Amino acid sequence: MTSTRADDVHPSPARMRIADLHPELRRAYRWFPRPQVRRGWQRRMAQAAFALIPPPKPTAGVRFERIDFDAPGTGARVFTPDDAAASGAPARAALIWIHGGGLVIGAAAADDRFCADLAERLGIVVVSVEYRLAPQHPFPVPLDDCVAAWEWVQDAASARGIDPARVAVGGESAGGGLAAALAQRLLADGGPQPAVQLLYCPMLDDRTAARRELDAVRHFAWTNRDNLVGWSSYLQMPPGADAVPDFAVPARRADLNGLPPAWIGVGDVDLFHDEDVAYAQALRDAGVECTVDVVPGAPHGFESIARGAGVTRAFHARARAWLGERLAASAER
């Protein structure tokens, strides 16, 4: 009988270099300061920096407002096309957007530009969620905050000119993972369902954080050591355990039947690439329509870190086109 060593199953990959990145992305990542999240004081400093983000600059045709929810530190930043609630105007589609930050840092304000741009280009209402963070607020608190945002949109739909049947969910990184978990939970709860899922480099599987051979790679922007902090803080137990709570880890859910169509975009040198592609295949195996957009040489968060690069603009354009087409199709059903 032949034994199999761990490194035969997952051979240790080489450390990542700038030369491994897409040429248009190298400059941005050469000087990008990787977030420090392993210690509490580092996370507090990061949050202090996020708190200094100024309100978004006025965008022609888009109104901005802040909504507070009942729980302290929760709410939403709402971007509404000027004519969305005009008398006689047709009801608009909406997107509930969830920011990233590894479940331990981040703020909705960091995505203001992205959200305003989506609202203007697609003519939809974008609701950017402010949720509480781990480890002070572990699972299920962040997901509960996202559910509260969904319920707020459903309750406010009529007054705000939103079609409650055409509400998408989406997010980036940890926010993409929360969006996937939100879709799973809403399906299990019954009631109104998201029209589609828009998932940018989603953080979907705690078992990646348990793979210590990935620590040596030192991925750009988000390493597997950072990933260990994020999942451990959120789950309040070591990643990779035999069992996790329902809806805590999207990739661990066995039954994906009935979920809405999904778009998953990720770079091929992103730490989350393998888990994202695996989740896409699991969705397809369950009969769920899933479009996967893999960008060669793109590391984690390139869609935010290197906004001006041609490869990034093209990536966003494909995501917008997919979202716009699916939301338009949902209006015809």
Cβ neighbours, 10 Å, residue 36: 14
Q: Is 270 a catalytic residue?
A: yes
As beta bridge partners, residue 92 has: 162
Distances (CA, A) of 116 to 126, 137, 174, 193: 8, 28, 20, 24
Residue 7 annotated to the active site: no
CB contact burial 120-134 (16+ within 10 A = b; e otherwise): bebbbbbbbbbbebb
Could you give the CA distance from residue 267 to residue 272 in angstroms, rounded to a whole number? 8
- For 129, phi then psi, to 5°, come to -85, 135
Strands 75-81 and 125-130: antiparallel
CB 116 within 8 A of CB 62: yes
Based on the residue annotation, tell me whether 233 is a catalytic residue of this protein: no
**Number of C-beta neighbours around residue 112 at 10 A:** 21
Give the active site residue among 128, 173, 232, 304: 173
DSSP string, 235-258: HSS-TT-S---TTTSGGG-S--TT
Which one is catalytic: 273, 300, 304, 330? 300
Catalytic residue among 145, 206, 270, 276: 270
> Which stretch of DSSP H or E encloses residue 189?
helix 174-189
Catalytic residues: 173, 270, 300
